[in-house]
Structure 1
Amino acid sequence: MHVPQILVVDDDLEIRKLLARYMKEQGFRVQLASRCAEVRERIATSQIDLIVLDVMLPDGSGLDLCRDLRSKRSNVPIILLTALKEDVDRIIGLEIGADDYLGKPFNPRELVARIRAVLRRGQDDRSPQDGRGRYLFEGFVADPFARSVVDPGGGNIELTGAEFDLLLIFLTRPGRVLSRDQLLDLTRGRDEDVLDRSIDVLVSRLRRKLAAGGTAQIFKTVRNGGYQFAAKVTHLDERI
């Protein structure tokens, strides 16, 4: 049985020690880092299943590091730790590809719950919902098993874990108007620290990435309603 390995990145030694001890008690393997350079080294030499990343680091910004990892097409899940209170700062984290965020100070129990939720979403989505296989829409092919999307020209569309999770929700509910509350429930679950705006950010990112092929508007905004996946969805195959 695979035991997830979590990389905790924070320049505060006491926080690193506290989180390492607590996560090990919860059954995780843990590696620690305090600088951006160490993160790159750990990723290159170890199998990391998720990164807990502080925004403020001695040799750079955690936001810049997150952006850099995504630009190099690393899909390892990232949960940001931030002492910044402004919503815009958290939204920036989501825009550049973070899967979740948690403001300081925080309860280690809540962080572990979020880690498990992010890992569970990735694990659950390896098997398609409704027992179906690949999805075809507007010439795109989405494969829940491979967690991949191929455009009409055969090119691969790079999506973060959170983006793919949201796309899969729409693909299994084509034509339905889904409110932000419903989408939050279906993706990460409601809690007081989750921003409704985070759904807007994810939809915006999906629109931008899927519009590259010049297709019609796939995601429709329904005033006072939410979002609707307007494209026709076809199931290409059934998988046992």
Structure 2
Amino acid sequence: MDEALAEAVFAEHARLEERLTDPAVLRDHRLARRMRRAVAALENLLDDIQDGETEWDRYDPYDVVLAIEAEPADVELLWHRYRDLAARRPEGWRAEPLDGEPGGRRRAVLAITAGEGGPGAWSLLKTHNGLHPLTPHPVPGSDAGPDAGPDAGPGVRSARVTVLPHADEGVALPGSERDWRIDLYCTRSPEPPSSITITHLTSGARFHGQAATPREAHANAVRQALARALADSITADEPAHRHLHPGQEPKRHPKPIEPA
């Protein structure tokens, strides 16, 4: 038994149990769900430690921000595939577009949130990070992710999928307010959605949000920026790091995800 790991798990379990008594945490339903999943995962991990398992990915209970980059038709196909994957999970998963519908674009971003019980979205989708070959005629709604499989030949289309753990309340945007520019986009369409892009002036990183109101669009852009800030803070000694940096591409094919 790894006593140091067990002690760390006990300490984290106690911290989360205390946080779950905070009314401010309970009012944030997404945060409270994630913390309850974390408590359950830590209790299961203690059993695994007894059996000699010593790896703890602290982000397994987390929700995710998932970006798809490919040709527009493939972006739309995979966007619907991930949305349908979430809808079929029996634990109450949800997929929420953060930058609008994907039609005609080469990039689209979803937030995928898990339910009260069961695994966190990061624990199942982290293996999808990387560049994936696509089948000529993918099966809509497949849980296996976008991979074509080991027999994909040369010239097969590809898509890049980036999965980041959704940032918790302790993560802040890098720099100060002066380091960020906010651009609001307007269209001539009747009752158009609000589109906002925030740009980190130091690095040039841009995050686009779209929603019914400017406030919601800004929040969607910030969610993406915070997820990136969290991912950038994860060090090489943490298990999540190897999934965020899958190494040489094409990466290994992720295992299919079967509904529980």
TM value normalised by structure 2: 0.27
* Higher CA-based Rg: 2
Higher-RCO chain (CA-CA 8 Å, sequence separation at least 6):
2
TM value normalised by structure 1: 0.29
